[in-house]
Amino acid sequence: MLGVAVGGSTSHMGYMSTWRFLYPRSALLEGIVVANQGERVGAEDVYGALLIEKMMRKHQSQGFAIYDSTQWAKAKKQLPTQGLRQTVDAYNDAIKNDKPDPANKMSDTRSPILKPPFYGIDISIKLTKGLQQVIGLSLGGLRVEEESGLVLNEAGKPIKGLYAAGRNAVGICSSTYVSGLSLGDGVFSGRRAGVHAAGRSVKAA
């Protein structure tokens, strides 16, 4: 990186946002997403990148979207996952008794999974030649001074005249990502850097 080459420091370089969407989006809401032991991964109505991040970090990148119909999974085989029955029962019982979902899925997006056999779409992220291939983007970047956008060195001191903005810098979405945040982050941090640089130019003149 050019910024690092002139003394800039980085942070959050191990953070990524990865996606594993089903289309149409309503397909994911029709069922539940479980890991390889049948346990729930998380609420299926959250932004897809958040759900997949949890699947990768806590469930070894293993996940299955479960349905009681072949409407969305007509080409997939039945999934004999240990613990799946208990997970489905807990999900259905919460709907039947008007209780909060065990994984905090919103009430108006829940529909019961009532009739076995259950079908699963494998949404796991698999290794190919030792690598996990998945669509995503990196979230880390150069550390910057909050007030100005100036890049910080390893000692935490700003480097005069060197700015970073948007996805080149650590920002509001460097820990986790929701679609569109890069636009807001880029506009804000770009303006911040521009205002500071313009102010320095005026003073220098």
Give residue-wise pLDDT tens across range 5-49: 999 999 999 888 877 777 777 777 888 999 888 899 999 998 888
Distance, in Å, from the CA atom of 164 to the CA atom of 170, rounded to the nearest integer, reads 9
Domains along the sequence of the chain with CATH: 2-15+137-204 (no CATH), 21-133 (3.90.700.10)
Give residue-wise pLDDT tens across range 134-147: 777 888 999 999 99
Q: Which pLDDT value is given to residue 136?
A: 78
Distance, in Å, from the CA atom of 93 to the CA atom of 120, rounded to the nearest integer, reads 21
Q: Which pLDDT value is given to residue 74?
A: 47
Average pLDDT over residues 163-181: 85
Q: How many CA atoms lie within 13 A of 88 on its CB side?
A: 23
The larger pLDDT score, comparing residue 50 to residue 73, is at: 50
Q: How many CA atoms lie within 13 A of 74 on its CB side?
A: 2
